Structure 1
Amino acid sequence: MKIIDAVLGFFKPAVVEKEREVNVVRLDTVDSTNSFLRTYTPADDEPMTVVVADYQTAGRGQGTNTWESEAGKNLLFSVLVHPTMLPVRSQFLLSEAGALALKEALTDYVKDDIRLKWPNDIYWKDKKLSGTLIETKLAGGRIKDCIFGVGLNVNQEAFHSDAPNPVSLCQILGHEVDKKELLEKIVKKFSELYNLLEMGGYNDISAMYHEALYRRGGFHKFRDADGEFDGAIVEVEDDGHLILRDKSGRIRKYQFKEVEFII
């Protein structure tokens, strides 16, 4: 185990643990774990880096959204990988693999009703358990780096922001969960799914993702720029587009933020 000597000013000293070819950087406080990894330089033999913080002063969600998290209660972490083997056109498979890793790890605690809400939120019934912010860096027509930033509600007992439907594992189970053990399960699952991507198992990842989708069967309420409608999920394309079919039979295709699930 190695103690990092340098302190960059916005976070407290960190501990780095090396195991299973994954470097784990543990921080007390940071602006955001994604921001930390954007300036982090991994060693040449470091294929995967995980940075986890007890508290984020500027935790971010998608777009301009923020992430509410009580200090020390939840899992706030980011994973850095270098998926140069994956074609740029198929980069949404990384999002699918990350969401599946969370879903599979959480199934050890909650046996039913854990689903993946497109593109990569984790839902329990109609409540949001986790959100992910993914950032990629391209170089020479390849995916040089990919950072998965995850906020997972673990032991928080009450939420005070205007987020409409948060829930935590503690609220579901009625007791606290060991965060370190849960993180180890997530990283192990992600490593397995990432290995599957490295071996070209694209169809397997896509099939598992579609099977786990929130509202994957039947018609449900959605809203786009033209208003509300009833739609059924047809598929999620390799580039991440959501394909819906409305009750008139019309096929509708959406990028992220172009359509809203009405819950």
Structure 2
Amino acid sequence: MMTYSAPEFLVYPELQSTNTELKNLLAKNKLAEYSVIVTPHQTAGRGQVGNVWESELNKNLTFSLLLRPTFLAPHLQFYISKLVSMAIIETIKQIANIEAKIKWPNDIYINDKKAAGILIENSILGTKLDYSVVGIGLNVNQEIFISDAPNPISLWQLTNEHYNLEKLLERLLENIEHAYHQLEVNRLSLINNEYHNSLYRISGYHWFEDNKGKFEACIDHINEMGLLTLVDKEGQKREYAFKELKFVIND
């Protein structure tokens, strides 16, 4: 049995979206921090800006976690994405001995394929963050993907091994809690350095695409609000918010 000490650990046979269900419960009840909703079958999982997450029954991790980062100023909310991303890649390394990377802003990539996605929905109350609903989909034991998602990959496809989902979830929640504590004690420089060093395509020039077309550039930095700055081959800096930039794969 799971030993992770979530105040509420709710398992549903099927849900359209764990994030949506957690927010519905929040509207009715005051849930404690670290409450978790998990389902083996998420039928309409959501990604960033309406993207759909494919997940076969009983094959992957699909869950949502409640955090209450009231100590964090709203303009620093991207730190939640940073710490969750780092916890996922640390878990993949521990469980499967695979080096994963963080594709800005919060996809988890192994080589040039997507192993996990994160959807964080924050609520602001006055001048503080009230809560964060952290939705995570991690491809674990799925052998075949049938949707039109461009580049999914599972741990099974990489290692030809099946993984215990309960143990994997417990380890991931423990790693998130550990990373979250670093944020609570204001170790922002440590988080920034680890996130930067874990970025997908952090070294060298790569192809990207914005509304003006494709270009080659290298990653310069990501600021505290999550904006990405690239430097192109002409030495010009280009700054992007979420969904303003596409990573060109295999160009």
TM-score, normalised to structure 1's length? 0.90
- Taking the aligned partners of 1:156 and 1:57, their CA distance within structure 2 comes to 15
Q: Give the equivalent residue in structure 2 for 1:193.
A: 179
Cα distance in structure 2, aligned partners of 1:208 and 1:107:
15
1:24 aligns with 2:9: yes
**SS, match of residue 229 in structure 1:** strand
1:106 and 2:92 correspond:
yes
SS of residue in 2 equivalent to 1:132: strand
Where do residues 193-232 of structure 1 align in structure 2 (5 Å cutoff)? 193-232=179-218
Q: 1:45 to 1:30 in 2, by over 3 A?
A: closer
SS at match of 1:192: helix
CA contact (8 A) 2:76 2:225 kept: yes
% identity of equivalent residues: 40
Matches within 5 A, 1:98-177: 98-177=84-163
**Relative CO higher for 1 or 2, CA cutoff 8 Å, sep ≥ 6?**
2
AA paired with 1:20?
A: S
Deviates more, 1:209-218 or 1:103-112: 103-112
For the Cα contact (< 8 Å) 1:243–1:253, is it kept in 2? yes
CA–CA distance in structure 1, aligned partners of residues 78 and 34 of structure 2: 18
**Distance in 1 (alpha carbons) for counterparts of 2:4 and 2:110:** 31
Residues of 1 paired with 2:25 and 2:244: CA distance?
A: 33
Richer in helix (by share): 2
- The total of aligned residue pairs comes to 248
Residue 19 of structure 1 deviates from its aligned partner by 4.5
- Alpha-carbon shift at residue 124 of structure 1 (Å): 0.6
- What is the letter of the counterpart of residue 126 of structure 2? G
Q: What is the distance in 2 between the residues matched to 1:31 and 1:225?
A: 33
- Hey, what's the Cα distance between the residues in 1 that align with 2:6 and 2:161? 32
Deviations 1:125-147 (A, max 9, x none): 11100011110000011110101
Greater CA drift, 122-131 or 57-66: 57-66
Is this contact kept in 2: 1:18–1:24, CA < 8 A? Answer: no
TM-score of the pair, normalised by structure 2:
0.94
Change (3 A) 1:77 1:142: same
Equivalent residue letter for 1:260: K
The equivalent position to 2:42 in structure 1, one of 56, 59, 66, is 56
State the match for 1:76 in structure 2: 62
* Distance (whole Å) between structure 1 residues aligned to residue 229 and residue 122 of structure 2: 23
Q: CA RMSD in A?
A: 1.7
SS at match of 2:149: coil
Mapped contact 1:155–1:170 kept (Cα < 8 A): yes
> In structure 2, what is the equivalent of residue 35 of structure 1?
20
User: Is the 1:114–1:123 Cα contact (8 Å) retained in structure 2?
Assistant: yes
